[in-house]
Structure 1
Amino acid sequence: MLATLAAIAAFTTVAHAEGPDWAQVDDALGRKAAVSQDVHRYGFPRTDLNVTLDGVTIKPALALGGWVAFKPMGKDAMLMGDLVLTESEINPVMAKLLADGLQITAVHNHLLRATPATFYMHVGGHGDPVKMAIALREALALSKTPGVVAPATIGQTSDLDLDTAALDNAIGAKGKATGGVYQFSVPRTDVISEDHMTVPPALGAAHAVNFQPTGDGKAAITGDFIALSNEVVPLITALRQNDIEVTAIHNHMLDDEPRTFFIHFWANDDAQKLAQGIRAALETTKADLKQ
């Protein structure tokens, strides 16, 4: 028995020693990760940009929050992420990422009519997380994405001009206040995989819904839903029936199973009305709703 326990302890020590050196990844990216289970996620908010849409100045936490996340695979890792870029930054950043062996899985808009226009480049990869982090840092240096940045302010819900308890109740999930925005991350009840590995919510397999107060009980909302092919039409129909604009439908991943589509949206209206519309859209999917 003692021999067995010793063997287990030795195996655990070796496995831990062979895992990624997250301090080196932090150093390469110039920021600390937010850790959810075993996923290390890094934010790259475009705090340098002043983007407006329909008279609303977009906060980085609403729609300009680029990110990358790493899920360990032994000493290596799976990488997924979404970089926020201006039009002139797309080609140099893409060329550098491809030259360093990372994948580009999508380039698209999230918003319509925004000034200046912003685009979203989805990246992927497998391998040494430190090397991938260095590749990301060097590619982002070809954009004006801020380098070392302070974490987004985690505010109290009282800081927001919104009835957040009512929003939680309407949507059926608990949100959090970050950078002047109330954010929801709603996981699915089924399993999405990429290259035969489960994609957890922190790596992108969750519905994301953000509310930015715009005064008098109103909010601008945006984000994305992750939907299976048979959920796309019912979902966008529910959004349109609730006066929520559909701004993009596209893929984020190349080898996902089952195939998934991401649906982006926009509205600026009464926050409680919009929350009810979001709930109607969530109910067309296998969303993990608590009520």
Structure 2
Amino acid sequence: MRKLFWATISIVAAVLATSVQAQDINWQKVDDALGRKPAVSGDVHRYGFPRSDLSVTLDGVTIKPGLALGGWVAFKPMHGEAMVMGDLVLLESEINPVMLKMIEGGLDITAVHNHLLRASPTTFYMHIGGHGDPAKMAAVIRDALALSKTPLSMPASTTATASPPAIDLDTAKLDQIMKTKGKANGGIYQYNVPRRDPVSMDGMAMTPPAPLGVAIGINFQPTGGGKAAITGDFVLAGDEVNPVIRALRTNGIDVTAVHSHMLDEQPRLFFLHFWAVDDAMKLAKGLRAALDKTASAKD
């Protein structure tokens, strides 16, 4: 009982310390450096950099930014400063100019790879990391992205009465099959499924997991007639990789990449990307079969 008491006290103290650190950061300076407002989840500030300038097609589907072109960076208070992580969507010609500016500014490159096969034009994904003054890191990120064609100006605000794009799918039935609740975002129906066990980096718990990119992400883009294009990434321990591959392939879902996004996370994680275009309910059953092979959190 005494151990439980002190464990609870330690957790509360850690939460309070993180809250104080978050209050100490001048987030307005970060917002100004990046030229946009974040989505805030707990103490994490996540900024989106969707490649809305690109028209990428794959298997006859024009990919919406929220399906597979949604670059982002996220800041989390850490040791009196902040940790930054990100996943930036780039064309091949943009990779090295952006990379050079990042490393000149003291940020780390943790991965460069593709997530999709056969897409035109080919897009690549640069994962970044760093620790330091959040406003300074934000300025480096903006200067680096300025060497690409990533839109840095926010689009004109839509009116409050503007309706979001409709999701032409039976989302209630999808949720029933997936055994979790999704949400609509820019014409995409999205699921975020955290792992059951905590993930940490440099002794810091990676929470909340979804905005930091360590939750399983599954996206449905309606293509008409009850069909959908699906993509995303499974976040897996090493012994889960091949069971998930087999479950996806058995259900007609392509595995398009297996790789790392980070360098020193605990436990070691692998990211498995997938793609298919088919009946949405059929695909959901295949994805649920794959999720059942993972140590993911239950609703």
TM-score by length of 1: 0.91
Q: Distance in 1 between matches of 2:93 and 2:157?
A: 26
Task: After superposition, give the CA deviation of every residue in 1:131-183 in whole Å (9 maximum; x if it has no partner).
Answer: 00000000000000001224998997981110001111111111111111111
Q: Deviations over 1:73-120 (max 9, x none)?
A: 254111111000000000000000011100000001010000000000
Q: Which residue of 2 aligns with 1:278?
A: 287
- The residue type equivalent to 1:238 in the other structure is A
Structure 1 distance, partners of 2:156, 2:216, is 22
Q: 5 Å matches for 1:126-141?
A: 126-141=131-146
1:145 pairs with one of 147, 150, 170:
150
CA distance in 1, matches of 2:272, 2:74: 21
Gaps of 5+ in 2: 1-15
Shift of 1:245: 0.1
Query: In the alignment, what sits opposite 2:94?
Result: 89
Residues 24 and 130 in structure 1, CA contact (< 8 A), matched pair in contact too: yes
Asked if structure 1 preserves the Cα contact closer than 8 Å seen for 2:21 and 2:81, the reply is: no
Distance 1:157 1:15 in 2: 36
| C-alpha RMSD over aligned residues | 2.2
CA spacing shift, 1:214–1:15, aligned 2, 3 Å: closer
2:246 partner letter: T
Unaligned runs of 5+ in 1: 1-10
Q: Secondary structure at the match of 2:24?
A: coil
Q: Is the 8 A contact 1:157 1:164 kept in 2?
A: no
Matches within 5 A, 1:215-226: 215-226=224-235
Residue of structure 2 aligned with 1:78, choices 80, 83, 103: 83
1:121 maps to 2:121: no
SS at match of 2:72: strand
> Any idea what the Cα deviations from partners look like across 1:183-240, whole Å, max 9, x if unmatched?
1111111011112211121211100000000010000000001000000000111110
Match of 1:183 in 2: 190
Identical-pair percentage: 64
Q: Secondary structure at the match of 1:159?
A: coil
Structure 1 stretch 39-48 or stretch 188-197: which is displaced more? Answer: 188-197
Instruction: State the match for 1:105 in structure 2.
Output: 110
* Structure 1 contact 42–68 (Cα < 8 Å) conserved: yes
Q: How many residues align?
A: 279
Quote the offset at 1:17 in angstroms.
Answer: 8.8
Q: Residue deviations 1:27-78, cap 9 Å, x none?
A: 1001100001111000000000000001000000100000000111254111
Aligned to 1:253: 262
Q: 1:168 aligns with which of 152, 158, 175?
A: 175
Partner SS, residue 79 of structure 1: strand
3-state SS of paired residue (1:166): helix
Q: Is structure 2 residue 241 aligned with structure 1 residue 236?
A: no
Aligned-pair distance for 1:16?
6.0
Which range moved further: 17-26 or 146-155? 146-155
- TM-score, normalisation: structure 2: 0.89
**Cα distance in 1 for residues equivalent to 2:285 and 2:72:** 28
Q: Distance in 1 between matches of 2:138 and 2:270?
A: 27
Contact 1:61 / 1:179 at 8 angstroms: preserved in 2? yes
Other-structure match for 2:48: 43
C-alpha spacing 1:127/1:219, structure 2 compared with 1 (3 Å): same
- Whether the aligned pair in 1 keeps the contact of 2:78 and 2:204 (CA below 8 Å) is no
Is the 8 Å Cα contact of residues 30 and 147 (structure 1) preserved in structure 2?
yes
Question: Secondary structure of 2:138's match?
Answer: helix
What amino acid maps onto 1:112 in structure 2? L
CA contact (8 A) 1:26 1:32 kept: yes
In structure 1, what is the equivalent of residue 276 of structure 2?
Answer: 267
What amino acid sits opposite 1:22 in the alignment? W
Task: Note if 1:27 corresponds to 2:36.
Answer: no
Q: Is residue 296 of structure 2 the alignment partner of residue 287 of structure 1? A: yes
Task: Assess if the C-alpha contact under 8 Å between 1:157 and 1:176 holds in 2.
Answer: no
Counterparts of 1:244 and 1:20 in 2: how far apart (Å)?
Answer: 43
Distance 1:28 1:280, change over 3 A: same
> In terms of mean alpha carbon deviation, does 199-208 or 145-154 score higher?
145-154
